[in-house]
Amino acid sequence: MAHSVEGHLHLQATEYDRVIRTFIPNYDGMLQEILYRLRTVVPESGKVVDLGGGTGSLANAVAESFPTMQIEIWDTDRAMLAVAEQRLKRFSHRVRMVEKSFDQPLPECNAVMATLALHHVKELKKKTEIYHNIFKALRSPGIFLNGDCTMSQQKHIQEAESCFWTEFMTGQGMTHDEVQRHFAEWAEEDRYFSIFEELGALREAGFSQPECFWKHGPMAVYGGVKS
């Protein structure tokens, strides 16, 4: 599952943190929700795996919030990992970069998290397998948290979510045509399932009570606790 941000979003890895905030509504709110949910389950000295961790934005927030937590950042994009390594240099004694895809076996850990990465898995069956892999890796109690886009299967809700996203991006200075071009390009590699489908896949993977913890337009934080 090799993936290149430079190829997908047409931007340099070093520009990702700035540009993603013009693409994703309330991106920082998504990160803050994940931090809050980690705090409710994971011990301060626990271990967290960040799947598709990219530039290390989320991992950096975790490292700052949890001074003794061990973090592994998994990604196949070397350019992004290089940015993450530089950013997290001061935490090098407890942050590890791993050039692996999120469909490979995971180490035992207290939490697995991801942001804007798992939408690259275009088949729900394959995604369910990844969720099962995550469930197996989690200690008890452990938590999985995924911050990503979801799209309703219901036409009117889907249209409203698409309008919400479009209005946000045009509010960042993009034209309507530019926004639609971005959506068309992303659709070549991405697939957004409904929150209903996501929670069903999590339940099938072993999470008995999956939850949607936060939602802002089409963006959501969802996952489950392994008790």
The backbone region for 26, taken as left when phi is positive above 0, alpha when psi lies in -120 to 50, beta otherwise, is: left
Residue 103, domain CATH: 3.40.50.150
Give bridge partners of residue 144 from the DSSP assignment. 112, 224
Question: Which residue's structure tokens are 């490292």?
Answer: 63
User: What residues make up the domain containing 50?
Assistant: 5-226
pLDDT, tens digit (0-9, with 9 covering 90-100), for 175-218:
999 999 999 999 999 999 999 999 999 999 999 999 999 999 99
Tens-digit pLDDT profile for residues 99-121:
999 889 999 999 999 999 999 99
Total count of domains within the chain: 1
Q: What is the pTM of this model?
A: 0.93
Cβ–Cβ < 8 Å for 56, 73: yes
Count Cα atoms within 13 angstroms, Cβ side, for 10.
Answer: 5
